[in-house]
Structure 1
Amino acid sequence: MSKTLVIGANGQIGRRFCQQAAENGESVRAMIRDESQRGFFDALGVECAIGDLTGEMAAAFEGCDAVVFTAGSGPSTGPDRTLMIDLNGALRSVDLAREHGVKRFVMISTLHVDPLQGPEKLKPYLAAKRAADAYLMASSLDWIILRPGRLTDEAGSGRVTFSQAHSPGGEVSRDNVASFARAIVKYPEPEREYTLLDGNTPIAEALAQG
């Protein structure tokens, strides 16, 4: 059985991804920073590996076929953490995935990545995401980049759209992002970027339609 490494597993989308995977019998490994984060994943029966985007994390990649990168420095951190996590941490993850023979890398990015168009406080983050996305796309990995709209905590519907014209609110639930990431990890889709929003089309059907 293939195994997916979830980077940023203790975040809001990462936890949802691991919980859904556990409920569906899928093999995942949660990368956590320290033992204090283990309890949630132990309760799910999800394997954990200690790894730090700003430090040692190579061992977490061993034996994994796919990576889902959903880590983020968060809005309350400064440019230094953004640089180390959202940029350098993402670049190192791409390198380690390649070194360990990972087949697919799913990057959960942002809908808008032009720092010149973003709010002042988000400009370093958007610049980091833009550079990390470009680095992944230029790598030899089988990559997928998800660009979710404004994230909500609404219950997942399992229905999405790839068109902003079909989602006036420009929103997507974190549950739906996690569900779509689980589906695309296994779907034989070539390298592609997806705008991801809540919609009316079941995820499997949306993928089949392209």
Structure 2
Amino acid sequence: MEKILIVGANGSTGKRIIEILNNSQSFEPVAMIRNEEQKTIFEDMEVQWVLGDLEQEDLSHVLKGIDKVIFTAGSGGDTGPEKTTEVDEKGAIKIIDASKKAKIKKFIMLSSMGADEPSKHKKLEHYLKAKATADEHLRKSGLDYTIVRAGALTDDLGMGKVKLAEKLDSAGEIPRDDVAFLLIMSLADPLVKNMTFEAVEGDEPIKSAMINLSKG
């Protein structure tokens, strides 16, 4: 069974991923949390946790015994540029570099649609620039990776159907449930290996959409 570190475990998407992985026969989730006050929810789920802060410290200790990483941490588009840079850019780069040193097998990054063209989205430009920088750092890191550039996240019930492409023709929304499944399915090798793609809700079942995308 592979151990999967969830960076951003206390966020809405991170919690969904942990709930799913906690019932998996193949993967065991490990929640990365910023302070011990956040541990209760994971202890109640009988999920292992580890303390780590993207903004402050050396992160090598959080990767001990870890096979793969799912990064869902984010400051959010409403956060100021300084905080966004610390978490979405510098924090992401820090854990990517630590993952490379730890010889992590695969790094799954939750990014955002628009990260390829930040200047076209003035209100979110600082956020998308940070995401773009982190994405590019991951692509050049030498790690096996998948970057999922999701549309606007909603709390709607996931329908398990999506539209995926390296570049979609229009923006859209996607339930967090479906994003969680996309990120989890990206753990499988060689599915969407070393690929960056955009994702919104659609008509194709997640599994077949990912297989078709992998085939090109």
| Residues 31-63 of structure 1 deviation map (CA, whole Å, 9 limit, x = unaligned) | 000111111111222110000001223211111
Following superposition, the deviation at residue 78 of structure 1 comes to 2.1
What's the secondary structure of 2:30's corresponding residue?
strand
Matching residue of 2:46: 45
What's the secondary structure of 1:3's corresponding residue?
strand
Task: Identify the match of residue 104 of structure 1 among 89, 103, 106.
Answer: 106
| Residues 169-188 of structure 1 deviation map (CA, whole Å, 9 limit, x = unaligned) | 71110000001111111241
1:75-90 equivalent positions in 2, closer than 5 A: 75-90=77-92
Cα distance in 2, alignment partners of residues 198 and 48 from structure 1: 31
Cα distance in 1, alignment partners of residues 21 and 5 from structure 2: 12
1:29-44 equivalent positions in 2, closer than 5 A: 29-44=30-45
**Amino acid aligned to 2:53:** D
Cα distance in 2, alignment partners of residues 104 and 153 from structure 1: 27
Residue pair 1:6, 1:14 contacting (<8 A) in 2 also: yes
Following superposition, the deviation at residue 158 of structure 1 comes to 1.6
Task: Identify the match of residue 135 of structure 2 among 123, 133, 136.
Answer: 133
Normalised to the residue count of structure 2, the TM-score between the two structures is: 0.90
Cα distance in 1, alignment partners of residues 30 and 75 from structure 2: 21
Determine if the alignment matches structure 1 residue 22 to structure 2 residue 25.
Answer: no
Residue pair 1:115, 1:124 contacting (<8 A) in 2 also: yes
Matching residue of 1:179: 181
Following superposition, the deviation at residue 82 of structure 1 comes to 1.1
Residue pair 1:51, 1:58 contacting (<8 A) in 2 also: no
Residues 70-79 or 190-199, more deviating: 70-79
| Residues 55-102 of structure 1 deviation map (CA, whole Å, 9 limit, x = unaligned) | 223211111111111111134432221111111101111100001110
Residue pair 1:154, 1:173 contacting (<8 A) in 2 also: yes
Cα distance in 1, alignment partners of residues 210 and 53 from structure 2: 33
Matching residue of 2:195: 192
**Amino acid aligned to 2:39:** R
| Unaligned runs of at least 5 residues, structure 2 | none
Determine if the alignment matches structure 1 residue 115 to structure 2 residue 110.
Answer: no
Matching residue of 1:59: 61
**Number of corresponding residues:** 207
RMSD after superposition: 1.6
Runs of 4+ in 1 over 6 A off after TM superposition: none
What's the secondary structure of 2:187's corresponding residue?
helix
Normalised to the residue count of structure 1, the TM-score between the two structures is: 0.93
Identity of aligned residues (%): 36
Residue pair 1:148, 1:197 contacting (<8 A) in 2 also: yes
**Amino acid aligned to 2:92:** A
| Unaligned runs of at least 5 residues, structure 1 | none
